[in-house]
């Protein structure tokens, strides 16, 4: 149970660190307390699952004390090491993945914008003709419709 307390301390610290690393506009950061509450609830359920599988569902007073000991042990001894490995993990794995995703997104959006610009350049000579035709015929149609709808009886 002390080991589970150590892992709970590490997971909660990782959750807090990850939420603080998000941008201010992120929905997860704005709902940080709710996310942390959900993580605590999941960790509590996991603790009861561990108790059920290891001890057959028997709960003793020493179990929560051992878990609190593990949390305090994490805070006192292991927190700098876990944070260092967490930063290394973020810089070596998470940031390159996010960079690749952003690169793919930018390529797709840039290609789409290029195609739209080419289409607009092709249709540029027809725009003036279309606008003149539209203004002339649309005004006539609009006045006819308006006169029929709002006709005085």
Q: What distance in Å separates the CA atoms of residue 16 and residue 36, rounded to the nearest whole number? A: 8
Can you give the length of the chain in residues? 153
Q: Where are the alpha helices (H) located in the chain, listed in sequence order?
A: 2-21, 27-30, 32-55, 62-73, 79-89, 95-149
Question: Can you give the pLDDT at residue 112?
Answer: 95
What is the average per-residue pLDDT within 42-67? Answer: 84
pLDDT over threshold 90, residue 113 = yes
Query: Helices (H) and strands (E) in the chain — how many of each?
Result: 6, 0
pLDDT over threshold 90, residue 111 = yes
């Amino acid at each position: 149970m002390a080991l589970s307390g150590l892992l709970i301390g590490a997971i909660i610290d990782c959750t807090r660190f990850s939420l603080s690393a998000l941008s201010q506009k992120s929905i997860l950061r704005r709902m940080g307390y709710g996310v942390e509450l959900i993580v605590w609830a999941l960790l509590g359920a996991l603790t009861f699952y561990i108790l059920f599988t290891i001890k057959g569902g028997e709960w003793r007073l020493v179990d929560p004390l051992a878990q609190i000991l593990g949390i305090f042990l994490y805070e006192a001894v292991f927190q700098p090491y876990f944070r260092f490995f967490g930063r290394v993990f973020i810089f070596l794995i998470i940031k390159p993945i996010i960079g690749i995703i952003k690169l793919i997104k930018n390529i797709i959006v840039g290609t789409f914008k290029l195609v739209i610009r080419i289409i607009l350049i092709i249709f540029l000579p027809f725009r003036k003709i279309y606008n003149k035709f539209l203004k002339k015929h649309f005004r006539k149609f609009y006045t006819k419709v308006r006169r029929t709808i709002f006709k005085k009886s």
